[in-house]
Amino acid sequence: MKRFKFLLLGIFTLLSQLVFSQDVTSKINSGDTAWMLISTALVMFMTAPALALFYGGLVKRKNVLNILMQCFITLAVVSLLWVICGYTLSFSPKSLIPGFIGNFDFAFLKNVGLGASDTYATTIPHLLFVIYQGMFAVITPALIIGAFAERMKFSSFLIFVIVWCIFVYFPVAHWIWSTDGWLFKLGVVDFAGGIVVHINAGIASLVAAIMIGKRKYLKPTPPHNLTFTMFGAAMLWFGWFGFNAGSALGANGLAANAFVVTNTAAAAAVVIWFILDLFFVKKPTMLGSATGAIAGLAAITPAAGFVDVGASIVIGAASSLICYFMVVFVKNKIGYDDALDAFGVHGIGGIFGSIIVGVFASPLIQSAYSGLLFGNPKQLFIQVFGSVVVIVYSLVLTIIIFKVIDIFMGLRVSEKEEAMGLDITQHNERGYTVIE
């Protein structure tokens, strides 16, 4: 604790001496800034409370606080990590390893000012771009929580989040979103994080689910509070407008298009899951509809700024179909325990969306970007290539990280702790009183 305080004081002294670039008023568009301020808040809202509600409702009562705590602490820790080194490693246009990772020009946000950046989002304050991107860094590891829910040691979880951000998220974000990124230069497009967020977190989830092993109990238990899950899904949908339409980085027609296709893809995905539920389990389910919405939202994420409304319906519907089969059939066949389907929904939806944007990207939305259907088959190959690269990278790195953590501190709580629940054993608290 003491050391930490010294560290903080050190950081502060450093910062106090920095000179902020002060060309505040130049170029800044207040409308774009207004939209990006609220979009940033919306993306923050997705991690907590939205994802916390969504995931928290799905677990057993005795593990609910553990999920909530994981979401909350991820928000806190990654927020700090981001201003310290995350932003600069991800977005610095100059690089430590060219194309691969940024240098420390913006460490502790030095050289980031209230004025606009020259490189990114040139109509809003640079600081605002930083924090907007920071919220993406927050939610990505938070998504993985779904995979190892109800059995991971909290200390190991925390180390994992930090290490994974540094070695997986920051580099991948750099590759695809930095002007210096090698995949960016190759022409890989990812409007709001289909590759960087969803594939990345989805693949890590698959690894996590397999490496940590199944939960120990005879039969699956139903979600302890499906109303929370529904409220969470609705709030994710709401926040996703900031996620996708915010990725236009301004209040303009592109944002409007992203907003509309996000909503329509989610809607189409809900309807398809509904129909599949009708077909396979005879009744439409609330959990199914909520899951479908997320499948649609994940898939439209990389495409929201490139495709039109028609394509969004197809993308949402197809993503829902594919995720349904993954979650309901494939997962149970293969037998890994992706507890809350972080891979089955985010991973699969993200892969599908990231590739399919190479088919549907329409020059009528952004004239510089066309997909297969508009005579540019190359984009499809680029998208496949970019996706595969990130799948492999995330897979390998996550395996290594989990392995190392396992060796040093173990991944799982003891069987007895799992039986008693993680709330009481990891946090000395209970979610709800039984008797008062």
Partner 1 sequence: MKLIIAIIQPHRLEEVKDELYHAGINLITVSEVLGHGRQKGVTEYYRGTKESGNLLRKIRLEIAVNEEFVEPTIKALIKGAKTGEVGDGKIFVYDLNECIRIRTEERGPNAIG
Q: Which of residues 412-431 bind partner 1 (CB under 8 A)?
A: 416, 419-420, 424-425, 428-430
Q: Which helix (H) or strand (E) holds 96?
A: strand 95-97
Q: Going by C-beta distance under 8 Å and a sequence separation of 6 or more, which residues neighbour residue 234?
A: none
Candidate list 6, 279, 335, 408; residue touching a copy of itself; CB under 8 A: 279
263 makes contact, choosing from a copy of itself, partner 1, none, with CB < 5 to 8 Å by partner type, with a copy of itself
The least CB distance from residue 216 to partner 1, in Å, is 9
75 binds a copy of itself (CB under 8 A): yes
382 makes contact, choosing from a copy of itself, partner 1, none, with CB < 5 to 8 Å by partner type, with none
Neighbours of 162 (CB within 10 A): 15
Candidate list 98, 310, 375, 410; residue touching a copy of itself; CB under 8 A: 310
The least CB distance from residue 432 to partner 1, in Å, is 11
Please check whether residue 295 is in contact with residue 54, taking contact to mean a CB–CB distance below 8 angstroms. Answer: no
Of the candidates 315, 347, 329, the one whose C-alpha atom is nearest the C-alpha of residue 280 is: 329
Integer-rounded Cα radius of gyration of the chain:
21
DSSP codes of every residue in 233-287: HHHHHHHHHHHHGGGGSSSSHHHHHHHHHHHHHHHHHHHHHHHHHHHHHSS--HH
Alpha helices by DSSP H, listed for 282-376, are 286-300, 309-325, 331-334, 348-360
288 binds partner 1 (CB under 8 A): yes
DSSP codes of every residue in 172-196: HHHHHHSTT-HHHHHT---SSSIII
Site string for partner 1, 325-344 (x = CB under 8 A): --xxx--x--------x---
Site string for a copy of itself, 173-192 (x = CB under 8 A): --------------------
330 binds a copy of itself (CB under 8 A): no
219 makes contact, choosing from partner 1, a copy of itself, none, with CB < 5 to 8 Å by partner type, with partner 1
**Of residues 335 and 367, the one with the C-beta less far from a copy of itself:** 367
Contacting partner 1 within 36-95 (CB under 8 A):
62
Please give the Cα distance from 269 to 321 (Å, whole number): 8
CA dihedral 135, 136, 141, 145 (to 10 degrees): 80
368 binds partner 1 (CB under 8 A): no
HSE at residue 95, side-chain half, CA atoms within 13 A, is 17
432 binds partner 1 (CB under 8 A): no
The least CB distance from residue 206 to a copy of itself, in Å, is 26
CA dihedral 229, 235, 240, 242 (to 10 degrees): -160
350 makes contact, choosing from partner 1, a copy of itself, none, with CB < 5 to 8 Å by partner type, with none
Neighbours of 221 (CB within 10 A): 12
HSE at residue 337, side-chain half, CA atoms within 13 A, is 15
212 binds a copy of itself (CB under 8 A): no
The least CB distance from residue 211 to a copy of itself, in Å, is 23
Site string for partner 1, 240-279 (x = CB under 8 A): -------------------------------------x--
Candidate list 58, 128, 304, 390; residue touching a copy of itself; CB under 8 A: 128
Q: How many chain residues bind a copy of itself (CB under 8 A)? A: 135
Please check whether residue 37 is in contact with residue 128, taking contact to mean a CB–CB distance below 8 angstroms. Answer: yes
List contacts with partner 1 (CB under 8 A).
Answer: 62, 217-220, 222-223, 277, 280-281, 283, 285, 287-288, 291, 324, 327-329, 332, 341, 416, 419-420, 424-425, 428-430, 434-436
